[in-house]
Amino acid sequence: MADHGMRVGQGFDVHRYSDDPDRSLVLGGVRFEGERGLHGHSDADAVAHACIDALLAAAGLGDIGQLFSDTDPAWAGADSLELLRLAAGAVRDAGWDPVNVSCSVVIDAPRIAPHRDTMRDRLSAAAGAPITVTARHSEGVGALGRREGVAAWAVALVARQPGTGEPS
């Protein structure tokens, strides 16, 4: 098959809300003070996790669980922006450069729009490539509509680094 030097990857993440009153909601590297946090091994940043999965998939490197296992105590409470930085580094080490990532998060509250620019800046800095975030409302449908959790989808584009030959 012909390799055109570009690959696309998709990512998805979902987290349920936590019953821990001390857990903060973190999305796109932004802490939403006073909002109910998400359950997870790390900080449960569904936006960053979807971006990580999309980048890893595009580079053929598996998924977030393979790189940062939720059974590994080393990643307990981890900052997902740091995980994104490490994942983007792994993508580069594999001979690919992240070109961009687009992420869509489904959440009814809190509103994402006032924080979108900060999310974009923090995610982009961590990945070393532009990352955009859009938000969708669930329109009251299903578990997300009942505010049981948050879901995010992402698509990433990576380009083969010059001189790396045929990628894996």
Predicted confidence pLDDT, tens digits, the chain (168 residues): 556 799 999 999 999 999 999 999 999 999 999 999 999 999 999 999 999 999 999 999 999 999 998 899 999 889 999 999 999 999 999 999 999 999 999 999 999 999 999 999 999 999 999 999 999 999 889 999 889 999 999 999 999 998 876 544
Domain span including residue 56: 6-160
Structure tokens at 100: 């961009």
What's the structural domain count of the chain?
1
Within 10 A of 153 (CB to CB), how many other CB atoms are there? 21
For the chain, the first-to-last Cα distance in angstroms comes to: 12
pTM reported for the whole predicted model: 0.94
Structural domain contains residue 1: no
145: CATH: 3.30.1330.50
Residue with tokens 């393979």: 66
pLDDT of residue 167: 47
CA dist., res. 87 & res. 91, Å (int): 6
CA dist., res. 160 & res. 157, Å (int): 10
Structural domain contains residue 56: yes
DSSP 8-state symbol, 115: G
Scored b (16 or more CB within 10 A) or e, 117-152 reads eebbebbbebbebebebebeebeeeeebeeeebbbb
CA 23 to chain centre: 19
Structural domain contains residue 138: yes
Structural domain contains residue 57: yes
Structural domain contains residue 166: no
DSSP 8-state symbol, 17: B
CA dist., res. 31 & res. 35, Å (int): 9
Structural domain contains residue 168: no
Structural domain contains residue 165: no
Give Rg (Cα) of the chain: 16
